[in-house]
Structure 1
Amino acid sequence: MERLIVFSRDRQMLCGGCGRRFVVDLDWIDRWEQGGEECPGCGLTCEHEDAPRVTVDPDDPVLDDGRVARFFWYHTSTQPDWPARNFDPAAVLTAETRMRMGGDEHVAAWAARQRARALHVGTYEAAVHNMLRRIRDQADRGSQFYLYRVRLNPSVVVREGWLVDPSDFAGDVVLDEVCPPGVDVARYLNYHEDPGGLCLALGREAIAGVQQVPVPLPDAWDADWVREAVAALETACDAPVPATGRPARFVRPASPRAVLGRELVAALAGRLPVSLRDQFTSAAAFAEGDDPARWARRASALLDLIGNPTRVLSALGTAEQRQV
């Protein structure tokens, strides 16, 4: 079962100071994070320890235990076979790396900890947000990403209630800590990706199957925009512009083509909800030396993931389902 995909939906806020619950839009949250808004109940701003934070919508259908396994869930990864059936995190380690880790015994202990981590799935919005964040923060701009649509086993046992995001600083969750014996799935409030949405921490056994498509889709771009962007970039000079003042040492001035590329990205980002603009700007950045046509198709296709999710859902609908 598919849920309505709305990146720009309003969010529920809960104040830790006065306990007031209120609904805001994403622009309000953006102003609040910059100190421009306050709790309408007690006046706390974002700097306060008990400041309002996004919280779960009490009408979220995922709060119904019986419906959790009926919904589709999503995940983005650079792994072409996520979740790997026989996951061996040590398989890619070189002999030199194994030695630096302290030898085979330490490597085995590290691998056991990696296998004990929970998998994460969430809304379509959270999966796309996660990909953009990784491209920006984890140097994954050149990596091929895949979007996975996840079906759960209908018999999964869902932990009662929901947790505040249990991830550590690296985003990891130990499965046994959130899913005790007899529990397969734990819901948690996501603060970082699709804030306010509920995601799941679970093990491989909770997943019945996945469907996969590469993202962005290879042919999902706005042909008119791409044509216009390429024409503009190809007429712009790609030679650096001499600085009019005293240049900073070792700083190569940007070319008119690179400046235009940044302007085009900024215009695309301006079409998006404010919560995604920074990540999109980094993910779709135009770099010196980029091929204009290749860059324009990719930037437009990234925008299409957010602005036209029905195209992605259609591709997933025809994708083969792989059992896990």
Structure 2
Amino acid sequence: MERLIDFSRDRHMLCGSCGQRFLVDLDWIHRWEQGQEKCPGCALTCEHEDAPRVIVDPADPALDDDLVARLSWYHTSTHPNWPPKNFDPAASLTAETRQLMGGDRQVADWATRQKRKALHVGTYEAAIHNMLRRIDDQADHGSQFYLYRVRLEPTVTVRTDWIIDPSNFVGDVMLDEVCPPGIDVVRYLNYHEDPGGISLALGKDAIAGVQRVAIPLADTWDESWVRNAVAALKNATANVAPATGKLSRFRRPSSPRVVASHEPEALRELCADLARRLPANLQNQFTSATAFAEGDHPVRWARRTSGLFKLIEDPGRVLATLDTADRRNV
């Protein structure tokens, strides 16, 4: 069962001071985070501890216990076989690393804690947002990402109601701390990706199967945009004066990244135009995640940038591709 995908939908807010509930768009939230908006009930601004915060949509189908296992859930990862069948977090540790961690006993304890961590799935919007955040924050600029559509076991037991996002500062949740015995899945209000949406923390046993596609999808880019971006890079490179003098033969040639950081206004405007067409809460991360880096191939970079944009602009094509993907039982 698919939900309507809408990155730009209005969000519900709840003020912790006066109890006012109200509906806003993402531009309002952006202004509010800059201190430019106030609670319509008590005029608190964002810096106050009890200021309004995003809250779940009371009409969200994920609030229906009977629908949770029937909904499609999503996850993005750089791992081509998520979740792994035989997860051994210590398998890749070198002997030196094991020694630095204190020896085999400490490594075994660490591995046990890693296995206790919950898996996370959420809306399509949350999965794409999470990917952009990882590219931006975790140096995954050159990594291949995969989008997973997750089907839950129909017999899962869902914890009553929902909780505030229980993740720690690195995004980890210990499953046994949020799912008491007999509970397989907990719903939580996601503050960070797709704010206001419901995400799930769960164990691998709660997942029946997954379908996977590599993203961005091949051949989904806007060829006209790609041509213009590549031309802007080439023009910028061509306009760099060659080095002269006795030391010029020892200098490395200028890369498009070096040129792009100083000259090509046309390229910056092309990228800014894409970002402006996105919801306010995605613009900065999209801009950072798609920055042209030294060593990038101009055509590949332009196609990837346009393809990432299409994941947000045309999710229907992604879902159609997932429909044809093989299902892997977990």
Which bin holds the TM-score, normalised by the shorter protein? over 0.9
**Distance in 2 of aligned mates of 1:83 and 1:173:** 16
Match of 2:26 in 1: 26
**Which letter does structure 2 place at the counterpart of 1:256?**
E
Contact 2:232 2:267 (C-alpha < 8 Å) held by counterparts: no
Alignment of 1:83-98 (within 5 A): 83-98=83-98
Match of 2:167 in 1: 167
Q: 1:25 to 1:318 in 2, by over 3 A?
A: same
Q: 1:95 to 1:164 in 2, by over 3 A?
A: same
Corresponding residue SS for 1:228: helix
Match of 1:206 in 2: 206
Match of 2:229 in 1: 229
Please tell me whether residue 273 in structure 1 is matched to residue 279 in structure 2: yes
Please tell me whether residue 150 in structure 1 is matched to residue 156 in structure 2: no
Match of 1:304 in 2: 310
Match of 1:14 in 2: 14
**Distance in 2 of aligned mates of 1:238 and 1:96:** 48
Please tell me whether residue 315 in structure 1 is matched to residue 321 in structure 2: yes
**Which letter does structure 2 place at the counterpart of 1:296?**
A
Match of 2:197 in 1: 197
Question: Of 300, 319, 325, which residue of structure 2 is paired with 1:294?
Answer: 300
Alignment of 1:183-194 (within 5 A): 183-194=183-194
Match of 2:255 in 1: none
Contact 1:262 1:285 (C-alpha < 8 Å) held by counterparts: no
Q: 1:264 Cα shift? A: 2.3
**Distance in 2 of aligned mates of 1:62 and 1:232:** 45
**Which letter does structure 2 place at the counterpart of 1:95?**
A
Please tell me whether residue 80 in structure 1 is matched to residue 89 in structure 2: no
Alignment of 1:93-104 (within 5 A): 93-104=93-104
Q: 1:98 to 1:263 in 2, by over 3 A?
A: farther
Identity %: 69
Contact 1:261 1:285 (C-alpha < 8 Å) held by counterparts: no
**Which letter does structure 1 place at the counterpart of 2:263?**
P
Q: 1:230 Cα shift? A: 1.9
Alignment of 1:62-141 (within 5 A): 62-141=62-141
Q: 1:315 Cα shift? A: 1.0
Q: 1:93 to 1:17 in 2, by over 3 A?
A: same
Q: 1:260 Cα shift? A: 4.1
How many residues are treated as equivalent by the alignment?
314
Question: Of 240, 249, 263, which residue of structure 2 is paired with 1:256?
Answer: 263
**Distance in 2 of aligned mates of 1:100 and 1:240:** 49
Match of 1:245 in 2: none
Q: 1:233 Cα shift? A: 2.4
Q: 1:96 Cα shift? A: 1.3
Q: 1:238 Cα shift? A: 5.5
Normalising by structure 1, we get a TM-score of 0.94
**Which letter does structure 1 place at the counterpart of 2:282?**
L
**Which letter does structure 2 place at the counterpart of 1:146?**
Y
Normalising by structure 2, we get a TM-score of 0.92
**Distance in 1 of aligned mates of 2:157 and 2:299:** 49
Contact 1:262 1:286 (C-alpha < 8 Å) held by counterparts: no
Contact 1:11 1:24 (C-alpha < 8 Å) held by counterparts: yes
Per-residue CA deviation, residues 168-190 of structure 1 (Å, 9 max, x unaligned), is: 11100010111111111000000
Unaligned 5+ residue runs, structure 1?
Answer: 243-251
Q: 1:292 Cα shift? A: 1.8
Q: 1:237 Cα shift? A: 2.5
**Distance in 2 of aligned mates of 1:2 and 1:238:** 49
Unaligned 5+ residue runs, structure 2?
Answer: 243-257
**Distance in 2 of aligned mates of 1:265 and 1:17:** 40
Per-residue CA deviation, residues 124-163 of structure 1 (Å, 9 max, x unaligned), is: 0000000000000111111111100000001100000000
Per-residue CA deviation, residues 91-124 of structure 1 (Å, 9 max, x unaligned), is: 1111111111111111111110000000000000
**Which letter does structure 1 place at the counterpart of 2:182?**
G
Q: 1:12 Cα shift? A: 0.2
Corresponding residue SS for 2:173: coil
Q: 1:288 Cα shift? A: 4.1
Match of 2:250 in 1: none
